[in-house]
Amino acid sequence: MKIVIAPDSFKGSLTALEVCEAAARGIEAIDPSFEIVQVPMADGGEGTVQSLVDATGGRLVTNTVTGPLGEPVEAVYGLLGDGDSAVIEMAAASGLPLVPDDRRDPLKTTTFGTGELIAAAIDQGRRKLIVGIGGSATTDAGAGMAQALGIRLLDRSGEQIRFGGAELARLATIEMTEADPRLRDTEIRVACDVDNPLYGERGAAYVYGPQKGASREDVKVLDANLRHVADVVQRDLGLDVRDLPGAGAAGGLGAGLVAFCGAALEPGVEIVVDAVDLPGCMRGADLCLTGEGAIDSQTAFGKTPAGVTSVARREGVPVIALAGGVAFDAVSLHERGFDALASILNCPMSLAEAMAPDRAREMIAFTAQQIVRCFLAGRRGN
């Protein structure tokens, strides 16, 4: 019997690999001869680097880069086991948690460190990059990232503009002549699960600016500056990123990666599915277990269990999802291919107790074992 275990992390408690290992331990107690395939998954957001490194037998690398405030930070990225790919989370270099609450200001914050991580991965000989762009502290349309890769963003005096969203107003010319030439041979896939345009009422400044510290007046300035960048990009690079779905992700980094690096914006879980070859892992399986920390009706929209279920259904494999909590509205997931949903909680307990790693491992192992026992009992009944 072949069982595929392909969960996301249980955030704040266990990594995706740790969830896999706990579930496998419970299932192996039924019959050690079962073929258990562990595939740590993610959806392109937090935890994607760790999951892909774990799934492919890769390794983590730490670099000192420029943080969102222009100060040095230690950022981790992943080199995948295929020898050709790397995975980066922009939040590691340019994320909101790196900025204290009283210093949050998207007029000043920069994505320069994200560009440094991209360059570092290319220095390692990697020519296939996956970039997750959630959790940014920035609204600079990827200007800092571009500058870190040698792209010159010049004002009317021919000087480089400085860091931050406020400086975008001074952009007069984009020069690509000194861009890192290796970018031409590098495929960049951007994990992007929002469809916000670059500017406007649903754009980067209005929707995400306030949580990054922007006042109402700041939002107006940033939105105007993003419009200006789009105009210069179209004039100098011949690309129209104005209405590109996802252009407004990460303060316009979505647009910047497309414009400056030739990147493609894709749903995060689909990128991860390809990177770990989930269809190949799923082939010939009898059962698939997936899951995440909490499951509700929103799980259907771009979350890891939904992506896993889509692959499993194509391969004709039944899918059962487990989670710390399962909301009543999650019943709608049955219409989207989930065969069953199970909570790992086995008695009343506090959230802190449920999320304690040792307790979570114990409950996942127990629940996975009971799921498989029920599955086997159903087979005998047929």
- pLDDT tens, residue by residue, 181-203: 999 999 999 999 899 999 999 99
| pLDDT band with cut points at 50, 70 and 90 for residue 31 | very high
- Is residue 46 scored above 90 in pLDDT? no
Rounded to the nearest integer, the mean pLDDT of the chain is 96
Structure confidence at residue 45 (pLDDT): 87
- CATH C-level class of 2-41+278-381: alpha beta
The fold of the 48-268 domain, in CATH, is: Glycerate kinase, domain 2 (3.90.1510)
Tell me the pLDDT tens digit for each residue of 85-125. Answer: 999 999 999 999 999 999 999 999 999 999 999 999 999 99
Which DSSP string do the residues of 281-308 spell out, in sequence order? HHTT-SEEEEEEEEE-GGGGTT-HHHHH
Mean pLDDT of 308-317: 97
In Å, how far are 292, 306, 316, 322, 331 from 299, measured between CA atoms? 9, 6, 21, 12, 11
Distance CA 271, CA 276 (A): 9
Structure confidence at residue 382 (pLDDT): 64
- In a 13 Å sphere around the CA of 39, the CA atoms on its Cβ side amount to 30
Tell me the pLDDT tens digit for each residue of 255-306. Answer: 999 999 999 999 999 999 999 999 999 999 999 999 999 999 999 988 999 9
> Tokens at residue 239, please?
């690309």
Distance CA 97, CA 92 (A): 9
Task: Let me know: does 44 contact 132? Beta carbons within 8 Å.
Answer: yes
What does the domain layout of the chain look like in residue ranges?
2-41+278-381, 48-268
- Is residue 381 scored above 70 in pLDDT? no
**Closest by Cα among 204, 191, 377, 214 to 287:** 377
- Stated pTM of the model: 0.92
| pLDDT band with cut points at 50, 70 and 90 for residue 67 | very high
Mean pLDDT of 315-332: 96
Tell me the pLDDT tens digit for each residue of 114-170. Answer: 999 999 999 999 999 999 998 999 999 999 999 999 999 999 999 999 999 999 999
